[in-house]
Structure 1
Amino acid sequence: MPVTVQVISFVAAAPARVFDLKLDVDVHAASQHAAGETAATRDGRRQLTLGDEVTFQARHFGIRWRMTSRITAYQRPDEPADAVGSPRTSGRFVDEQVRGPFAMMRHEHLFEADGAGTRMTDRMSFAAPFGPLGAVVARLVLAPHLRRLLTRRAAHLDALVRAGG
């Protein structure tokens, strides 16, 4: 049974800017430099879009992990929302594991205008392998670890924006 972790944070930038930063593989890897994270795409592009795959490598729990995810949904915040052409104040994208350590992993990223910035929601659903034992490890070990990881990434993004990056 999948476990869901949700982190809601605020970033002091417009939704389109935050959206673009979240899809930048270099920004993503930099947010986890302590884990030695790297990110690579097949074509070398650093900005992801619909259908793109990215392979991450990082050290967690003393083990080197490798996971490839694909962008399966993509809706920019600044694309027209209606026939009048006014920009949307929200957007989203979804990445899903295609190869890696999880039995399944789906990460939905939501971006909503909120005053002078963006309310960003990370909702990650995952299941660990190894049946009932994996389910226990997912709830007791992986869920808190992933919540900290998502919180750290959001803080990195906000600090980057505030520093003018």
Structure 2
Amino acid sequence: MIDAPIENCFDLSRSIDLHVQSMSSSKEQAIAGKTYGYIELNEAVTWKAKHFGFTFQMTNEITKLNKPIEFIDEMIKGPFKKLKHIHQFRSVNYQTEMTDIFIYCSPFGIFGYLAEKLFLNNYMKKLLMKRNAVIKTQVEKKPETSFRL
């Protein structure tokens, strides 16, 4: 739950710049496609990041965008066999409920499945929670008030 209007939460969730900021621990960078601003329908971004000591590249495209209710990004090239991230937003009593549905499948058959169960599920969940905490903090910032006497 976020103390901010649904439109603000929706937009910040599409912000390439805020995503980079929220993933600074993995040195994530937008290196191709849409590399700054708000990503829109049918736009793609290629990310470069370091996880588990390895550098990965992944290209994701926005395949559905229904402002300010939902958008979906899907991996079109990268380390997973499949990756689909559904971002949902709902107004509830002057707040916004933000929900992530993260669907993925690792490559390498049974070895990928074991990696998911042993550590990857927790790792991915922590990454999403960290990213969402940054979104929440940023969107809930109150503007400073200033005056001169």
TM-score (normalised: structure 1):
0.82
Check whether the contact 2:34–2:44 (CA below 8 A) recurs between aligned residues.
no
Distance of aligned partners of 1:63 and 1:49 in 2 relative to their CA distance in 1, 3 Å threshold: same
Check whether the contact 1:69–1:98 (CA below 8 A) recurs between aligned residues.
yes
Check whether the contact 1:11–1:154 (CA below 8 A) recurs between aligned residues.
no
Q: Which residue of 2 aligns with 1:64?
A: 55
Count of aligned pairs between the two proteins: 143
Shift of 1:41: 4.5
Q: Which residue of 2 aligns with 1:119?
A: 97
Shift of 1:115: 2.0
Once superposed, which parts of structure 1, at least 4 consecutive aligned residues long, lie more than 4 Å away? none
**Aligned-residue CA RMSD in angstroms?**
1.5
Check whether the contact 1:11–1:157 (CA below 8 A) recurs between aligned residues.
no
Instruction: State how far apart, in whole Å, the 2-side matches of 1:33 and 1:125 are.
Output: 23
Shift of 1:65: 1.1
Check whether the contact 1:25–1:40 (CA below 8 A) recurs between aligned residues.
no
1:83-106 Cα shifts (integer Å, max 9, x gaps): xxxxxxxx0000000000000000
Q: Which residue of 2 aligns with 1:49?
A: 40
Instruction: State how far apart, in whole Å, the 1-side matches of 2:86 and 2:100 are.
Output: 6
Q: Which residue of 2 aligns with 1:26?
A: 17
Q: Which residue of 1 aligns with 2:135?
A: 157
Shift of 1:43: 5.3
What is the correspondence of 1:83-162 to structure 2 with a 5 Å cutoff?
91-162=69-140
Q: Give the partner amino acid of 1:135.
A: Y
Deviates more, 1:44-53 or 1:96-105: 44-53
Instruction: State how far apart, in whole Å, the 2-side matches of 1:155 and 1:25 are.
Output: 16
Secondary structure of 2:101 counterpart: strand
Instruction: State how far apart, in whole Å, the 2-side matches of 1:110 and 1:43 are.
Output: 22
Q: Give the partner amino acid of 1:120.
A: M
Shift of 1:74: 0.4
TM-score (normalised: structure 2):
0.90
Unaligned runs of 5+ in 1: 1-9, 78-90
Q: Which residue of 1 aligns with 2:147?
A: none
Secondary structure of 1:11 counterpart: coil
